Structures are given as C-alpha cells and as structure tokens.
Amino acid sequence: MKHPAMFSHLERPHFPPPSLRQIIADLDFAYVAHGFIGWLFAATAPVAIILAVGSKGGLSEAELASWVFAVFFVNGVITIFFSWLYRQPMAFFWTIPGTVLVGPALQHLTFPQVLGAFYATGLITVALGATDWVGRAMKLIPMPVVMGMVAGVFLRFGLDLIRALHSDVAIAGPMALAWLGLSASPRLSRALPPILGALMVGAMAILLLGRLDPSSLGPLQLAHPIIQTPQLSWAAMVELTVPLAITVLVVQNGQGYAVLRNAGHEPPVDSTTVACGVGSLLSALAGGVSTCLAGPTNAILVSSGIAKRQYTAGIAVGVFSVVFGLMAPSFTRLMLNAPKAFVMTLAGLAMLRVLQSAFIGAFRERFALGGLVAFLVTTADLGLFNIGAAFWGLVAGFFVSRLLEPEDFRATT
C-alpha cells in the first residue's frame, strides 16, 4: 500500500495569489494603519520582555539586538508570504510565553544550550505539521472553549487600558477620547481609523508634554546578526523543548486560529505549523525564540474592514517588521523610551472590539460552561509544570465540557 508523500496534505490556497495590481487596488489607508498598529504592538511591550529576559540572563547588547532582528525579519518575511499566498491576514511573530520560559533557563543554562532547545522545537514543529497531527487535534477542541481562552488572554489588555487611564490620564485620556469620538461617527472613522487617530493624539501629547528625550535615542544603527553554534543539552531539551512546542502549537497558534476564524477566515493549520517550524529554525540562527501565529496582532489586523481585503494589512505588518528587524538596535531604543501608558492605551483600544467578539463566541450558545472555565483558568494566569495558564485553560475547559456538556458534543457531531 502506497503512503501519501510527506507534506502532501498541506492546505492549498482557495484563490490564486493576488497580483501587484490587485494588492494596490485592495490596499487602503485603514489597512496600512492596522498593519502599523499591529507592528507597533509587537515592537513595544513584547520587545521589552525579550530585553528583560535576555539582560537578566546575561546576554550582551549585541546578542539582544540579534535576537530582535531574528524574530522581526524572519517572521516579517513569512508574514508577507503567507498573507499574499492565502489572501488573509496571517501575522507571524514569536512566542511571548516561550520567551518568559527562557528567563529561568538562562540562570543555569548557557545561551548556546538554550539555542539547541530552540532548534529542537523547530524540528518538532515541522514534523508535527508534516504528519497532520496538529490539524486533527485542533478540530477536537470546541470553538467556544478556545474563545474563552482567548478572552482570558486578551482581558489584560482591556484592564491595562483602565490602568493607563488611572495612572497617566494626560496621555491615555486624550487617546481614549479621540478613539471614542472617531468611533461614534461612521463618516469620520472611514476618513481616519479610530486607532490611528488615538495613535496620532497620543504622539502629540507625548511631544507637547516633553515625555520623550531625543538625546536618549542615539544614532541610526543597522542590525548585525550574531550566528552562534548551538549545544546539545538534555537538561535544556527537557526543560524547554516540550513547553515551547506546546506554547507555539496550542496556546499561541490556537489564539491566532480562533481570532482569524471568528473574523471569517480559514487559516491553514498544517501549513502554518510547518511555517512556524521553519521560522523557528531560521530565527534560532540569529538567537531568536520560536515562531508562532500571533493572536493579538492578528486580532488588530481583522478588527475592521472587509475580510477579503484584510490580507493587505498582513502584508503591511510584514513590511514594517522586516524594516524594524533591519534597524533593530535603533527602533528598539525608540520604542522602549516611549511612555508606558501610550503603549498600554494603544493596545487596549485596539483590543476592545476583539475582546467583545471573544466573549460573544465563548458564551453565545453551546459549550458555555467550558468556555467560562477556560476563561477563568486563563485569567488566573497560574502556570503549571513550566506551561502557561492558557494551555491549562484549554485543558480544563475541554474536560468540563466533556463531563458536563455531553449534549453539546452530540449536537456538533
């Protein structure tokens, strides 16, 4: 009996890729704006997490800049390609929970040993995508349970918005008012996307209040990737490889799939898995952590506009990411010098509609109890066995639904 060739099951695009003329026709200022906001979200707090983890782990400034280059440049190229190929916004970045996991490991492992775990994770991810295991597993989890997990992850962005308004109203207040004013007027919101209006007002507030010191930014610098030789360490493999793979395949990619499906798209699960594995291997070359399909960024990309044109926002965020990666040292310094309230408010405003959709998807019809449990466990943010709360939210929600909502499973089969 002849077995199918490896990778033969990978999803094919439903439509031919758009030509350059079609991309220009579909491109709109609003999609570029959402691509910019999606990139800005990734280039602020998540970059700060990389710098905090790496600095505490003893990495040099050059190694940190190389890490930032890797996760933006490599994933930016993949984002452009997949958004173009599948005609839907598909932003790839890096696993933030996985980055947090690296912190404790760097206290007793060398960076080359950690890089060895990055490579192993990439190989495992490619193998799982090639065997169709991930695609079958994702179909077993009810969407309301996944959306409950997503709501739990995104809730903190809404809470951060409230905290920013409380702690720094001089910056957060005008941004929120601009967003509300533009959102309340369909005519104005078509001319100027509310999130971009909030960005512009926030930038003006920062300049008028003198909250950014230009002298701290330094000269423009291009990235200089550092290629290091990985080391095989069983301790690093046990501590990092499985948790990293879980955060990529279940937690992070699960968020991305849920967000895109909720917006009317059909993300290719197996092809995405292979892309994450390849991206992880390429990022590891320059010291970057594993690639994933980004939930929050994709949520920003699909927060408004026409679904069939949203792929242009994905291409835009990919272009911004490639440029950011090439100029990682300078751009990173700029973003880290911006007031914290600016980033918190911008992300919170961008997530409001998405958080609303996540709640509706979790609690509207079937599997509502499982969705609630997934939301509560994820919101508690208590990890177990070095695995983040979002994964355990999925496990707990699925278990509760299977035990207490069997009629919902029967109704969907």
- Summarised one tens digit per residue, pLDDT across range 110-151 is 899 999 999 999 999 998 888 867 666 666 778 788 788 878
Tell me the C-alpha distance between 162 and 105, whole Å: 33
3-state secondary structure of 65: helix
Which of 45-49, 204-208, 256-260, 310-314 is least confident? 45-49
The percent of residues above 70 in pLDDT, for the chain, comes to 92
First to last CA, the chain: 31
Averaged pLDDT for residues 24-45: 86
Does residue 227 register a pLDDT over 80? yes
Find out whether 83 and 311 touch, Cβ atoms under 8 Å. yes
Highest mean pLDDT among 43-52, 76-85, 225-234: 76-85
Place of tokens 């280059």: 69
Number of continuous H segments (helices) and E segments (strands) in the chain: 22, 2
Which of 58-67, 94-103, 330-339 is least confident? 330-339
Look at residue 312 in the predicted model and tell me its pLDDT.
96
Q: Show Cβ contacts of residue 323 under 8 Å, excluding neighbours closer than 6 positions.
A: none
Give pLDDT tens digits for 229-238: 999 888 788 7
Phi–psi pair at 284, nearest 5 degrees: -60, -30
Residue 1: pLDDT band (50, 70, 90) is very low
Look at residue 37 in the predicted model and tell me its pLDDT.
84
Averaged pLDDT for residues 166-193: 87
Tell me the C-alpha distance between 298 and 350, whole Å: 11
- Please state at what angle helix 143-167 crosses helix 340-363, rounded to 10 degrees: 150
Place of tokens 């599997």: 367
Phi–psi pair at 216, nearest 5 degrees: -80, -5
Does residue 366 register a pLDDT over 60? yes
Task: Show me where the domains of the chain are located.
Answer: 20-217+229-412
Look at residue 413 in the predicted model and tell me its pLDDT.
62
DSSP state for residue 214 in the 8-state scheme: G
Give pLDDT tens digits for 378-394: 888 887 776 667 778 88
H helices present in 168-305, as ranges: 169-183, 186-191, 194-209, 234-236, 242-246, 253-262, 269-285, 295-301
Residue 3: pLDDT band (50, 70, 90) is very low
Q: Mean pLDDT, the chain, as a whole number?
A: 85
Place of tokens 């879980």: 246
Give pLDDT tens digits for 245-294: 877 887 788 888 888 998 889 999 889 999 999 999 999 999 999 999 98
Averaged pLDDT for residues 348-357: 80
